[in-house]
Amino acid sequence: MSTISIRNISPKDKTWVKTLMLESWGSEKVVVCGRIFEPATLAGMIAEMHHERCGLATYVISDTTCEIITLNSLQRGLGVGRALLDAVAQNAKEQGCNLFTLFTTNDNIDALRFYQKYGFHLAKLIPNGIQADRKLKPEIPRQGENGIPIRDYLELRMDLDT
């Protein structure tokens, strides 16, 4: 099995992050519940296999909460997503955080499966939460994974103390 190494994002990764965001989410910006983020400017971790970048997690720390803003694995099912969350969690704990949180959309079944397996719980449903965000980012598609209409946000949370 290939070894996954995780490192902090550096200024040299900026162009790669922007391209990944464009390819994954249709824009260099992501909108989460009325908030606009530019992942290339956020704190983050990069996963590498064979010295090639294969994943990215970006996050924001506020008080004792660490919010994942984006998570992308380019080698799915090999442990890249898990390794990135482990590294962000470790870093967040060292900075005094006790809560991990994130928002995902109702269509993203793969992410919901992945996060719940990791230990996150469903904390909140925001029905039709995407509607307002489409005004901020018209690139958000109408349909997501498996042809499911993208409508709602789900907030997931996990204690970092345990």
Least distance in angstroms from the C-beta of 73 to ligand COA: 3
Least distance in angstroms from the C-beta of 83 to ligand COA: 7
Determine contact, residues 107/152, Cβ cutoff 8 Å.
Answer: no
**Owner of token pair 């949180």:** 101
Nearest to 139 by CA among 28, 31, 27, 22: 27
Give the nearer residue to ligand COA in terms of CB position, either 145 or 159: 145
76 binds ligand COA (CB under 6 A): yes
The DSSP annotation for 43-81 comes to EEEEEEETTEEEEEEEEEEETTEEEEEEEEESSTTTTHH
Q: What residues numbered 51-70 form the site for ligand COA, per CB under 6 A?
A: none
Q: What residues numbered 77-136 form the site for ligand COA, per CB under 6 A?
A: 77-82, 102, 104, 108, 110-111, 113-114, 117
Residues that contact ligand COA, how many (by CB under 6 A): 18
Sign of the C-alpha dihedral, residues 116, 122, 125, 131?
Answer: negative
Binding site for ligand COA (CB under 6 A): 71-73, 76-82, 102, 104, 108, 110-111, 113-114, 117
